[in-house]
Structure 1
Amino acid sequence: MKKTLLISSVLMFLLSCGKSEKIKNEIELQNQDLLSQTESSLKKPFKKLIFKKLEDFQDSEELNLDLLSKVASNLKIKYSAIKIGETSSINYDDKTAFFVLTTVEHNKKKVIKSADEDELGDYFQRKYLFVNREDGSIIAEEFDNNLGYYDNEAIRFSKSHILKDLVYLNETTPAVAFYTEASASSRIVLYSEQKFTLLTLNNNEINKVLYEYPISLTNGDSNGSGTFQIESLETGMSFGDQKTNGYYDLIITKNFSYEEAIESDPENGIEEHSNLQTKKEAEKLKFNGREYAFHRDDRHRFLE
């Protein structure tokens, strides 16, 4: 009887050990699966597409007004001098934020070359800033003189629209992406252009790795009514499979279109007419160690 009880106890012990080992193995498998899922969620896949068309461009909405007030104090400028509606921002990392800051200087004199005299007007300036997200201290700053303008000039510049997500030039290097529109305030001269820029922060210096690449362009003229001719360019931008000097090559797709419309004029025997033509091209930009260099191409594909 004792022998039977002893055997039963041994069997129960072995069974319990086997069951415990099975549970232990299942827990370890579950933990490994959770760890694998966590690691995969932390490793974001490299995103090749930057934008397919301009309409896909989603703006950053990270404008921190409290931080902007600290930035103004550190720059020793009046907060009231900042054009809030034309200022944009994005968080660059856990400690750093980036601003495209627009300020206005009232009653600034300018020289009119033709008349050789001074004129007063509001002057708008654009500055790029990397700042500490905690206290607003300035890490790096740079004026963009190409985007400065007087309020009564023919060509004006829009707010710089920052893409809501950082663009990675390789697996580890983030860049701020934004475009600014230049346009003519005229019903007769039809001109607008969106210029695209990529900026990085390297050793507390601003690097313009791509500067003012034309991603959208409209040229033409109109009679202010229903007759016009317009040539347009719309682009898409993505990264290729190859790297040059550590950064992926940029692939630019170009879509040109030409539209002509003539309104009817019965008195002169002119009938209503419209015409639309399209053409596609592509371009590859390689990083030369300092920037994605390119030659600006202002050739018309349709207009004479």
Structure 2
Amino acid sequence: MKKYIILSGMVMFLISCNQSQNIKNKALAAEQDQDFFSQNEARPARKPLKKLIFKNTDQFETDENLDRALLSKVASNLNIRYASIKLNETSSINYNDKTAFFVLTIAEHNKKMSKSADEEELGDYFQRKYLFVDRESGSIIAEEFDDNLGYYDNEAIRFSKSHILKDLVQLNEDTSGIAFYTEVSASSRIVLYSEQKFTILALADNEIKKYLYEYPIRLTNGDSNGSGTFQLETLETGMSFSGHKTHGFFDLIVTKNFSYEEAVEGDLENEIEGKTVLQTKKESQKLRFNGKEYVFNRDDRHRFLE
């Protein structure tokens, strides 16, 4: 009987210890759950990444608000006259809480790129410059000229303002890029040429990184008699991110829509009947990141024009 009582007591003691340990484990688990919940409350959930960059070039949402007060500080830090900046061809956007980005167009008076006598009538030379600056002081963090977008005031090829897209683009979960396009066109009624070049760049280690550089997103080619007769081939694109990554950056999906329009003006005196021809074709392309930039081969082939 005495052995039974002792054995029962030991069993009860072990059960009590086990229950006590279970209570402690539950309390610890509850504390960990509460801590995890608190951490997630303090750290808002990351927004889902936006895949669409633009559906077509007619539906761009651009940021046209130029920060002129900050630009004045930037001009002083660059040691250039504010009056030398072509304001209608200068754009800016806030990159983050501390940094802003500018695409600056600066007039270089009497600058000659070569010794050609023809350049005497070309006028001033305009340089395009990319700048990341401190939003408070306007001090320069990174800067770079783009010689491909430099032009003379009176030359036949025209360059538009670089239009910055309103929203930053997420190249991956941690890298935000600034996207903008610039249009280049011929100032002619006979030669029908224009092109929109698309660039995505970012600030990394205080350097400007051009991840996608001057990809042609809209292209027109053709000719006209200056009246109602013309033939014109047009490329329109859309661009979005794929869910797949290469070297840590999302692949880019480009949809291409080619169209061909031919119009002949009617001439009743010569018994020529007017006509219009319209043809379309669709293609797509995937651009992958090679560890430095998105790679593409420029395709200037005409789909309809001979």
Normalization by structure 2: what TM-score? 0.84
Q: Match for residue 305 of structure 2?
A: 303
State the match for 2:85 in structure 1.
Answer: 82
1:109 CA displacement:
3.6
What pairs with 1:1-304 in structure 2 (closer than 5 Å)?
Answer: 43-109=46-112, 111=114, 113=116, 115=117, 118-119=120-121, 121-304=123-306
Q: What's the offset of the Cα at 1:266?
A: 2.1
Closer, same or farther: CA 52–120 of 1 in aligned 2, 3 Å: closer
Aligned partners of 1:88 and 1:99 also within 8 Å? yes
Q: What TM-score results when the alignment is normalised by the length of structure 1?
A: 0.85
Superposed displacement of residue 61, structure 1: 3.3
| Residues 237 and 250 in structure 1, CA contact (< 8 A), matched pair in contact too | yes
* 1:269 Cα offset (Å): 2.3
Shift of 1:60: 1.0
1:247: how far off? Answer: 0.3
How far residue 55 of structure 1 moved from its aligned partner, in angstroms, is: 1.6
1:183 and 1:192 in contact (8 A); partners too: yes
In the alignment, structure 1 segments of 5+ residues that lack a partner are 1-30
Please provide the CA RMSD for this pair. Answer: 2.2
Q: Secondary structure at the match of 1:286?
A: strand
2:56 alignment partner AA: K
Deviations 1:11-42 (A, max 9, x none): xxxxxxxxxxxxxxxxxxxx9xx989977965
- What CA distance in whole angstroms lies between the structure 1 residues aligned with 2:146 and 2:155? 17
Task: Summarize the Cα distance change of 1:37–1:226 in structure 2 as closer, same or farther, 3 Å threshold.
Answer: farther
How many percent identity over aligned positions? 72
Change (3 A) 1:137 1:40: closer
Cα distance between partner residues in 2 of 1:232 and 1:126: 27
Question: How far apart are residue 105 of structure 1 and its match?
Answer: 1.9
- Structure 2: any 5+ residue segments left out of the alignment? 1-33
3-state SS of 2:148 partner: helix
Cα distance in 2 for partners of 1:65, 1:177 equals 21
Secondary structure in structure 2 of the residue aligned to 1:147: strand
More displaced 10-residue stretch of structure 1: 126-135 or 265-274: 265-274
Q: 2:20: which partner in 1?
A: none
Look up the equivalent residue of 2:154 and give its one-letter code: N
Q: What are the Cα deviations for residues 31-88 of structure 1, in whole angstroms up to 9, with x where unaligned?
A: 9xx9899779652110000000012211113421111000000000000001111100
SS state at 1:67 partner: helix
Residues 109 and 120, structure 1, Cα contact 8 Å, conserved in 2: no
Residue 107 of structure 1 deviates from its aligned partner by 3.2
